[in-house]
Amino acid sequence: MVTFNHTKIRFPLITGIYGSVAIVIIAIASLLRVLLIGKGYLVTNSDESTMGLMALHIAYRGEHPTFFYGQNYMGSLEAYLGSVFFHLFGTTIFSLRMGLVLLFTLFLISMYFLTSLLYSRGLALVSLVLLGLGSDGMMRQELWAIGGYPETLLFGALVLLLASWLALSSSRYASQSYPWWRYAGYGGWGVAAGLGLWSDLLIIPFVLLSALLLLIGCWREWRTWAVPCLLLGLVIGAWPLISYNLSAAAGQDSLSVLLRIRDTDRVDNLPGVNQVIGAFFVSLPIITGANRSCPVSGGKQITFAGPHPFQCVLEYTSWGVGFTLLWSFATAIAITALWKLRTQGASQERIDEKRQAAMRHFARLALLGSAGLTMLLYAISSNAAYLPQSNDRYLVGLLIAFPAVLSPLWFATGRTANGTGIRLAGRWLATCLIVLVFLTGTLRIFQSLPADQSANRLQVALMHDLLRRNITRMYSEYWTCNRIIFQSDERIICAVVNGNGQITRTGNRYAPYVATVLADPHAAYVLPTNSLLATTFARQIAHKGVQYQHFAFDNYQIYVPF
């Protein structure tokens, strides 16, 4: 127990029986993810391979990229972590993803602290079980090294945890002394917020709401060293982002690049109702644990395909409605509790106890509000209607609010009355049903492993077949290029071409690769079979009468100039 002046605050350390169980759950969840990536879960792509190439250059070339290659707004923390594991386990996708497992483990620890502080250790354990299992929609955001999403989870949970702790442990006696650990807490909040903002701007709702909680709960300390410590931590954490933007050329600063990409990705003339449907009934269910039942197409009309489309609609809709209702109930409960505290009197000796209760409800609202703001920003964007089944990653922050969303169900059924166990039985029945859905999702991941492993073998076969034919310089489409460069440990260098076979600026993230390929007059064209690029290229060379040596293997068409 940590004592601050006249206010006793129990910080939820991992001790006792609850702590022991939490350690076991976290260890199993982390080992589960190590097992999955070791078995080849998630077929890698060029985005992830770009992160791998960054890690490779950090580990062995002394490079220090600030951002994901070609994007001046998404941080490179995953690449730096990957470079460490490259030294330990070699330059593989497995090593790269081990950094993400570390981030996820720290996220679970933070979630145990946060849930125990704001709710109960029992709910914290249940939340760990659910987050530790998870469906494919959840795990791919935790284990795919494409930048920003595991960091959003970890740093989003940390800023809320530190803000809640500081707000709860503040009191009317705060002006009398300021222990060093409170200043460390403010500095830690700043570092976590800065690292999160550098990694991915998806964390903004959590930074804003936790900052508001600090403003409301710790206002007495704003004339102390708390503010300098917070700002110093923020500068330290966000220094890569700040340093780049201080010297960035006009139009190349992070905000301009991000806005430009947003305008490029915007799809006009989409019905507004499709954004709501895509957000609440497709993306929300997928990212929060519902199983991917069938393919979903977006755009002008959102449709469900597969053999049982009506069943998919029912599953997704019921999950989205249920999650939204629980979020609404949790928010209403916190607001009602605050209103009741406002109308209740308190003796002088109990005023701190009343204040702590108010701060706890404010902290719960900050957690729920962060999730609500995340949902709002996504629902008003075209991403919600356009490909909602793959854009669910923008809602990854909702996983931080999972305990808060579950809390109405947990506490409403968690108290027994008149010696009866009906409510207790209801709590465990509802909990077991939700765990069953998550467990089913995890089992489905294992069922999908053979398909992933087959795709991985095909990718490796392409790389070896190219090397056997001494094809080390090539042109291809984006989703092949950086993947083949990384898998071959840069023995094969590739430049991205568009549908007309011309070098494209947007697809080539690392300029030296393009220069290397252009310098080789015998660079081959390696084009996916039955792709528009392959068809167009074959038509062009036939029309021009250009002679190429032609091969076909591993689902690719290969053209080597004589």
Q: pLDDT higher for 64 or 247?
A: 64
Give domain limits for the chain: 266-412, 454-561
Minimum mean pLDDT range among 358-372, 382-396, 474-488: 382-396
The model's pTM is: 0.91
pLDDT tens string 456-496: 999 999 999 999 999 999 999 999 999 999 999 999 999 99
Alpha-carbon separation of residue 549 from 127, 461, 523, 546, 562 (angstroms): 58, 20, 12, 10, 7
Let me know: does 212 contact 222? Beta carbons within 8 Å: no
Highest mean pLDDT (candidates 116-120, 270-274, 315-319, 414-418): 116-120
What is the mean pLDDT of the segment spanning 79-103?
A: 96
**CB neighbourhood size of 182 (10 A):** 22
Quote the mean pLDDT of the chain. Answer: 88
Q: What is the pLDDT of residue 341?
A: 84
Q: What is the pLDDT of residue 101?
A: 97
Task: Enter the DSSP assignment of 147.
Answer: S
Q: pLDDT higher for 388 or 161?
A: 161
What is the mean pLDDT of the segment spanning 320-326?
A: 93
Question: Among 118, 54, 29, which residue's Cα sits nearest to residue 368?
Answer: 118
pLDDT tens string 519-541: 999 999 999 999 999 999 888 88
Q: What is the pLDDT of residue 146?
A: 92
Q: What is the pLDDT of residue 486?
A: 97
What is the mean pLDDT of the segment spanning 236-259?
A: 84
Question: Among 363, 344, 342, 348, which residue's Cα sits nearest to residue 169?
Answer: 363
What is the mean pLDDT of the segment spanning 413-434?
A: 64
Pairing of strands 556-561, 548-553: antiparallel
Q: What is the DSSP string of 52-118?
A: HHHHHHHHHH----SBSTT-TTSB-HHHHHHHHHHHHH-SSHHHHHHHHHHHHHHHHHHHHHHHHHH
Q: pLDDT higher for 102 or 388?
A: 102
* Alpha helices by DSSP H, 203-350: 204-217, 226-237, 239-247, 254-265, 272-278, 284-287, 309-343
> 273-289 burial string, b = 16+ CB within 10 Å, else e?
ebbebbbbbbbbbbbbb
Note the residue count of the chain.
562
Minimum mean pLDDT range among 156-160, 257-261, 334-338, 511-515: 257-261
Minimum mean pLDDT range among 62-71, 263-272, 528-537: 263-272
pLDDT at residue 517 tops 90:
yes
Task: Enter the DSSP assignment of 42.
Answer: S
Q: How are strands ordered across the β-sheet holding 524-528?
A: 493-496, 473-476, 524-528, 556-561, 548-553
Let me know: does 147 contact 44? Beta carbons within 8 Å: no
Highest mean pLDDT (candidates 41-50, 239-248, 303-312, 337-346): 41-50
Percent of the chain with pLDDT over 70: 90
Percent of the chain with pLDDT over 90: 64
Q: What is the pLDDT of residue 395?
A: 95
Q: What is the pLDDT of residue 266?
A: 57
